[in-house]
Amino acid sequence: MDKAKFEELVLAAAANPSRALLDKLSAEIKGAEHPLSADVNAALAVLWEKWSGTELDTASSEICLIAAAAGVNDTPEFRKLLVNATKTLLPNDLGHNPVMRALGVRDERTPLTEVAKRLRRLLSLKNGTVVFLPSSCRWGVASSVDPINCTLPVKTFRGVGANSSIPLDAVLKDVICLELDIEIEQLVLADSAMIPAQKFREIVKRRARFEVDDQQMRAMALSGCARKLAPTAFDAYWNATAAATTAAATRTSSAGRSLLEMDQLLTAEEKAGAGEFTTDDLIGFRAFFVRLKPDTAVRESKMLGEVISKVASRCAKECWKELFAPLQTKAPFWPADITKAPWNTIGVWGDLSAKAITKVAEVTCELFDIEYTSKGMMRLPLKALNGFGTFLTDDDIYDAASECKTFTPDILLWIWKNSKKRKSELLPPFVTVESVCRVLSGAELPKAWSAARRELRSLLMDNAQFQTRMVESACGNMKLFTSVLQGALFLSASERQSLMVKLARISPALRAHIEGGAGQLILKAGVGKTNVGEAPAEEIPNLTSVKSHRRLVAELDDIVNVQIPENREALKIARAHGDFRENSEFDAAKERRNHLGKRRSELERELAQLQSIVLKNVVVKDTAVVGSAIELKYADGKVENYMLLGSWDGDPDRKFLSFKTRLGSAVLNKKVGETFDAPGGKCTLVSVAALPAEIITELDD
């Protein structure tokens, strides 16, 4: 290991813990001499210090686990870090003290390498996993861990063993976990067709989630398929070497009998430099995909993705539609309606390897139309977005984002990270202070989306460039910041204050607004009687008449449900004409799309803050209020009459005065006889009266 390069890598990961850097660091630690040398430990100490007291994401937690397995220095600081990493990696229901004690993570007497082994075993203990316990020489099928009693319920497996609950600390010391499959059943079937010892070893090596030595496999056979043999007969059985059959030696990947066998054969062929598949091979693969059961596709989704990736890499694109058609809606990463599929279903995209994601995304774009794939991008975890982004244009993604009612942290983070790389002005406008705070205040998504949520939150709190984007996204609407930051329930009081200080440094206008009273209101959000979205005392709500409110709602509905779908069809037709450089229809459709998108954003933002007012309920006394008829007299003797109305009710021809105009805001809340500065000079409010009945009827309708 190059000491200087390793130190540089650690420092880079400490400054910017990106997935790529952490993956590279993981590989370096795994490849280093174990236990780790003093130089490696000294370099890693910088990382431990940087992460101390912070919330670790999955990638950072994996680094801690890998370091523990590699024999890192056992210090109090690293122990605390490993505790946090363990809680991140474990499901929420397992992060309790009884389980932590069974892992030995807080017990200095338990070596870190042993803690790492136990944690890996615990993470492998899924409901339905076949287990073998060498200490008690027993087989069984694991149920879900009982975190309260800190036990593992184990059921009998193929008539071997008995139903019981075993203390978790005893299980984690040496449990061997295997995937439940028909192959595994052969390991315990003690009948006349008992499998050869060589095949027994091969199955265990394929199916075991961790390395199993020969002594442990011997114990597994003695308690399983060979339990009826006498000692001398067992020795002869165990030491026999079975010759590989001709069929096994000549089997091709297209003739694989299971996803595992197919994947192994594909890997072997890839290493041997195999070329494109023949027509017979493709027929064999398609027949296998037709036979594949949906529950198997779900259970082995990661392996299915790997198989699709490897098969697609060795045949022409023209074959993909027919070849993979049987897997449409059967594979969990291809649900029939990706916009309504449960999060846990599409979360399997986060389980695929980066290489497989890119190829499966490409296959997806061939199998499904642009609408399916672009809408899928709005919901997929961050790990999968780069794969789709390679094959979709910004126009495609923009169309889907324009229709999306609720974003995920992942798509906003992806847009932000790729804004410079893609050099497009279409997508960045979706990353606004409103959209960011809305997703961070929303409900937690499954684990596949959690890393993006944490990173987006970190950008908001600590990244100056991102904070500048947040300020710019408000387009000078300082009241919007008041409303949004009040509703940012994911922030503590101290975090709100810190964020306000950072944002105020960027925008003098925002600073003045915060210092003018809005800051105190933001800090009080969620405390006492202060309500989220409440306006400062000196401000009044953004009011308008029922008629104007309905008009805006109708316009938004028409844009979303009529004009945008029509524009999308126009874009599809224009694209079909070919060369975009001389395609005036395409340019016009794009310009129309951009206009509709901007107008939709304007209306949604306005309606989010707008309140309709029923004018017949307005009580008019001696003060100019929204919903009153007023008479004004200027210093030069000129008299004017207006009806003071809502922000969207202005009509100069009918003397409808919006309270948002300069004159409207000047006269609002003035009492009869009061003189004030108006746009036309000094002005006195002469009288106030109720609106004419016909105007009330018109605007309340």
Distance CA 203, CA 219 (A): 15
Within a domain: 432? no
| Domain identity same for 163 and 81 | no
CB atoms < 10 A from the CB of 143, how many?
Answer: 18
Is 563 part of any domain?
yes
Residue 25 lies in a domain: yes
**Residue 414 counted as domain residue:** no
**What phi, psi does 153 have (nearest 5°)?**
-70, 130
pLDDT in tens, 29-41: 988 888 888 989 9
- At 286 the pLDDT is 92
Residues 34 and 8 in one domain: yes
Instruction: CATH number of the domain at 555, please.
Output: 1.10.287.180
pLDDT digits (tens, 9 = 90+) for 538-595: 456 788 999 999 999 899 889 888 888 888 888 878 777 665 556 677 778 888 888 8
Residue at a domain's end among 613, 641, 661: 613
pTM above 0.85, yes or no: no
pLDDT tens per residue, range 120-160: 999 988 888 999 998 888 999 999 898 888 999 999 888 78
Both 30 and 137 in one domain: the answer is no
Domain that holds residue 183: 124-239
Please check whether residues 34 and 129 belong to one and the same domain. no
Q: Supply 203's token pair.
A: 């199955």
The reported pLDDT for the residue numbered 582 is: 61
pLDDT of the residue at 413: 94
Statement to judge: residues 599 and 609 lie in one domain: yes
Specify whether 232 is located in the same domain as 148.
yes
Same domain for 227 and 132: yes
Distances (CA, A) of 626 to 186, 268, 552, 679: 82, 78, 19, 19
How many separate domains does the chain show? 4
Per-residue confidence (pLDDT) for residue 206, from 0 to 100: 86
How much is the pLDDT for 583? 64
Backbone Cα Rg of the chain: 33
Domain stops at, among 239, 265, 300: 239
| pLDDT confidence of residue 1 | 64
Say yes or no: 658 and 687 in one domain. Answer: yes
Rounded CA-CA distance 313/293 in Å is 24
Instruction: Say whether both 136 and 233 belong to one domain.
Output: yes
- The answer to the question of residue 509 being in a domain is no
- Same domain, yes or no, for 159 and 231? yes
Residue 463 scores a pLDDT above 70: yes
Domain match, 591 and 636 both: no
CATH of the domain at 628: 3.10.50.30
Two tokens, residue 681: 């000079």
Residue 456: its H or E element: helix 450-462
End-of-domain residue from the set 35, 64, 89: 89
Model confidence at 380, pLDDT cuts 50, 70, 90, reads very high
Instruction: Please check whether residue 355 lies inside any domain of the structure.
Output: no
* Average confidence score pLDDT of the chain: 86
- pLDDT category of residue 630 using cuts at 50, 70 and 90: very high
> Whole-angstrom Cα distance, residue 470 to residue 390?
27
Measuring CA to CA, which residue among 239, 238, 256 is closest to residue 247?
A: 256
**Residue 214 maps to a domain:** yes
pLDDT band at 359 (very low <50, low <70, confident <90, very high): very high
What residue type is 167 in one-letter code? Answer: P
Q: What is the residue type of 283? A: I
Q: Are residues 605 and 625 in the same domain?
A: no
pLDDT above 50 (res 47): yes
Kindly state whether residue 681 falls inside one of the protein's structural domains: yes
Question: Residue 305 — pLDDT band, cuts 50, 70, 90?
Answer: very high
Which are the contacts of 425, defined by CB distance < 8 A and separation ≥ 6?
A: none
Measure the CA–CA gap between 330 and 323, rounded to whole angstroms.
14
